[in-house]
Structure 1
């Protein structure tokens, strides 16, 4: 049986924090992992193969079995609702989803509009609030929507709040906290349970130790 673990990881902040977590868990990663432009990198010493992907694609790769494991933000998991198991909260890349808009403005009473990269999350949130809104799906520059009159509100990821402030927007409500999670393909979890369980144990040990030290 092939014991190599294929792990899909998003590029950017999550990738760097996840790689650092693996190193602290005692895994030896190849130096080129940090700087390479390759999309597939082997860490033969540890039996890992990394697929570097866009954040929204990680769960798709895991669901379809081309990756055994993935590291994905909780926002992606809530939005995509893929057939994967969530194994561990890695406690990295912390942020939250929030509703924001121009200061001192109210939602349009007749046809309120909300722009977002997360239509499913936004729709569910406003349903829970008893509000009927029109969801406008955008892929970038969400902050622009209320500035040009496209929407009354936006739903987006907030980390420091700096981007909202720089664009003259304010936060109205927090929806949910977001951290990165370790996810697994259900079939991989059955056939590679021993090596996956060992990885989870080592990562969890680092996370718990750091939580104790910070607490």
Structure 2
């Protein structure tokens, strides 16, 4: 299949970021249909086409102009030393919104306690060039940096050390590994080809999509609250609202009542609703949000 060069070409990351990315686009207003047998997802925007690449290689295809823009981890932009334009940070990832850390680690029982102790040793990692630059920057001679095809934590007791990514730290703890240093902290980014970014029409479209994606991310942790309040109890209800929020108050047909609406964090909602009820709020309901554009 050949993509239409007149269309804005989007790169969707294949692998662990694929489903969260497709869901994020859906909440932003774009429906992406991914076939298990095709690397060309369908997107319900006639001015766009999409291709799928692994996050590890996305920045190279963006740099070379195979696609106009794409989504991948910042770690792979660094690893590939890619010359691309960073459009924005997108705070979502495989399991949480936490950044991914690439850490240098050894077994807990190891007599290695600092990076310098690894001089002359062997390191296993997926991030070979980044690790090479790290040790060169510290003037620590390493015998070999070997590529790891996965299950890197298991190899820590077979060689001298590993550099692996962690999002929650649970795998490191499960494998009884001790962190010596953090080489890189990475989040998901939207990146663009320089020529595409210089094209006014393409840039505007990319910026619009970035705005919608960021709005969908912001909305995921918040909900809307709406309730009816007797006018006589409005001050008491508003006093319970978070100080950082400015609720909307609307007149109702019955002049003795008003409708109050506010957006709050999900963790605040569970404490706020009972307080609003006790203060006089009635017919309280909450609803999910797709996007919040500041």
Residue 173, structure 1, aligned to residue 196, structure 2:
no
Pick the structure with greater CA Rg: 2
Select the residue among 115, 120, 136 that pairs with 2:145. 136
Partner of 1:143, secondary structure, is: helix
Residue 164, structure 1, aligned to residue 167, structure 2:
no
Gaps of 5+ in 2: 94-98, 223-264, 268-294
Shift of 1:128: 4.5
- CA distance in structure 1 between the aligned counterparts of 2:163 and 2:118, rounded to whole angstroms: 18
Equivalent positions of 1:1-215 (< 5 A) are 4-27=7-30, 29-30=31-32, 32-33=33-34, 36-45=36-45, 47-93=47-93, 94-107=99-112, 108=117, 111-129=120-138, 131-140=140-149, 141-148=151-158, 150=159, 152-191=160-199, 192-210=202-220, 213=265
Partner of 1:49, secondary structure, is: strand
How many residues were matched structurally?
210
- CA distance in structure 2 between the aligned counterparts of 1:188 and 1:109, rounded to whole angstroms: 44
Partner of 1:13, secondary structure, is: coil
User: Do the aligned partners of 2:87 and 2:207 also contact (CA within 8 Å) in 1?
Assistant: no
Shift of 1:88: 0.8
RMSD: 2.6
Shift of 1:110: 5.5
Shift of 1:123: 2.7
Gaps of 5+ in 1: none
Cα distance change of structure 1 residues 61 and 2 upon mapping to structure 2, 3 Å threshold: closer
Cα distance change of structure 1 residues 214 and 157 upon mapping to structure 2, 3 Å threshold: farther
- CA distance in structure 2 between the aligned counterparts of 1:20 and 1:163, rounded to whole angstroms: 26
Shift of 1:105: 1.5
- CA distance in structure 1 between the aligned counterparts of 2:6 and 2:41, rounded to whole angstroms: 16
Shift of 1:127: 4.2
TM-score (norm 1): 0.83
1:176-214 CA deviation, whole Å, 9 max, x = no partner? Answer: 322110000001112212211211222233334557747
- CA distance in structure 2 between the aligned counterparts of 1:109 and 1:90, rounded to whole angstroms: 35
